[in-house]
Amino acid sequence: MNATRRLIVASPILAAQEVTFRADVKLVRMLATVKDANGALIAGLEKEDFAITDNGAPQEIAHFERQTAQPLSVAMLVDTSGSTAKDLKYEIDSLKRFSKALFASGNVGDQAALFTFNHEVLKRSPFTRKQKRIEDAANSIKAEAGTSLYDAILLGASELKRREGRRVIVVITDGGDTTSQTDFHAALEAAHANDAVIYSIVVVPVSNDAGRNVGGENALTQFSNSTGGRFFLPSVGAALDKAFDEILRDLRTQYLLTYYPKNVPLTRNRFHAVKVGVGKPGLRVQTRSGYYGEAAP
């Protein structure tokens, strides 16, 4: 149950003003990856090494897991618009290797689903651990028409809503959105609402900036940074395989931190800014930037 409370703050200089706090709210989950200055993954940190603030207010960590083994649900979204035709086969081959590696280690409950998007979004395979089912679905993919990227993220996030454990979206595309009915902000809010971490892989069609959709790349960077994922810009082949390998390493070394927001000052913005810090110098935390909740009346 959600509730708010108001506190009258008296000041000798300012007139008394009304401040609204949030209280008695649902659990907030934060998946975090910690790296050093060289980008190396850091494992073995303790609960006491972390600090969380919500809209600037310090929070108490209710539950902590080091290298959490909670099952993964990975929604794999593959761009099949006409512009991907040249590299689509190589992307699908790398995706198959990624799903195979995902099922080969980790939690026995880890599953993946395959979606494609061009002018429409199609679910090719439901969540499964059967590699053959993923491969059979991938083998029927053809490239044509436009790019409904935001619609795909919205559907992927919605499908993850019913999944237990950790929720991840991996997007493989070559550019920006052209045909979605959903806009960027609605897709991003859906990802946050369903605790989905977005990893974006933009397969570079050309090295010249004049031939790239830089606006689309910027949007995907925002999706990834805001949800605690990462953005990759590889070419097909070894570089693409390396991007998938790095995603898998991130997922295998995640920390899970949860808290119940207390004494959180509300603002006019529904988005609550959450910061997760580590007390040890030289380390940085990769996690989502917050969540959508209540705003001040």
In whole angstroms, what is the distance from residue 114 CA to residue 78 CA? 8
Could you tell me if 214 and 96 lie in one domain? yes
Give the dihedral of Cα atoms 163, 244, 92, 233; nearest 10 deg. Answer: 110
> Span 100-123, mean pLDDT?
95
pLDDT tens readout for residues 153-163: 999 999 999 99
Could you tell me if 230 and 86 lie in one domain? yes
pLDDT at 15: 37
pLDDT at 211: 53
Q: How many domains does the chain have?
A: 2
pLDDT at 16: 40
- pLDDT of residue 200 exceeding 50: yes
Residue with the larger pLDDT of the pair 25 and 107: 107
- Encode 186-206: b = buried (16+ Cβ within 10 Å), e = exposed: ebbbbbbebbbbbbbbbbbbe
pLDDT tens readout for residues 120-134: 999 999 999 999 999
In whole angstroms, what is the distance from residue 295 CA to residue 297 CA? 6
| Cβ(233)–Cβ(205) below 8 Å | no
Q: Which helix (H) or strand (E) holds 75?
A: strand 72-79
- pLDDT of residue 8 exceeding 60: no
- pLDDT of residue 14 exceeding 80: no
pLDDT at 25: 60
Could you tell me if 76 and 210 lie in one domain? yes
Could you tell me if 85 and 188 lie in one domain? yes
Could you tell me if 88 and 220 lie in one domain? yes
Could you tell me if 277 and 181 lie in one domain? no
In whole angstroms, what is the distance from residue 228 CA to residue 196 CA? 9
Looking at every residue in the chain, the average pLDDT score rounds to 89
pLDDT at 265: 95
Could you tell me if 186 and 284 lie in one domain? no
Could you tell me if 82 and 61 lie in one domain? no
User: Which own/partner pairs from 133-141 qualify as long-range (CB within 8 Å, at least 24 positions apart)?
Assistant: 134/96, 134/99, 135/96, 138/78, 138/92, 138/95, 138/96, 138/114, 139/92, 141/78, 141/80, 141/88, 141/92, 141/116
Provide the domain limits for residue 112. 72-237
pLDDT-derived band at 216, boundaries 50, 70, 90: confident
Q: Which residues are bridge partners to 72 per DSSP?
A: 166
- pLDDT of residue 282 exceeding 90: yes
Q: Per the domain annotation, does 244 fall within a domain? A: no
Of the candidates 206, 277, 283, 251, the residue with the CA atom closest to the CA atom of residue 67: 251
- pLDDT of residue 66 exceeding 60: yes
Provide the percentage of residues in the chain whose pLDDT is more than 90: 79
Burial bucket for residue 251 (CB in 10 Å: 0-12, 13-18, 19+): buried
Residue with the larger pLDDT of the pair 209 and 168: 168
Could you tell me if 33 and 116 lie in one domain? no
Q: Per the domain annotation, does 246 fall within a domain? A: no
Could you tell me if 77 and 159 lie in one domain? yes
In whole angstroms, what is the distance from residue 279 CA to residue 287 CA? 16
Backbone angles phi, psi at 226, to 5 degrees: -70, -30
Task: Output the domain CATH number for residue 194.
Answer: 3.40.50.410
pLDDT at 10: 36
Q: What is the DSSP letter of 118?
A: S
Could you tell me if 123 and 213 lie in one domain? yes
Q: What is the DSSP letter of 250?
A: H
Q: Per the domain annotation, does 118 fall within a domain? A: yes
Could you tell me if 54 and 81 lie in one domain? no
pLDDT at 213: 65
pLDDT at 101: 95
In whole angstroms, what is the distance from residue 250 CA to residue 35 CA? 10
pLDDT at 69: 84
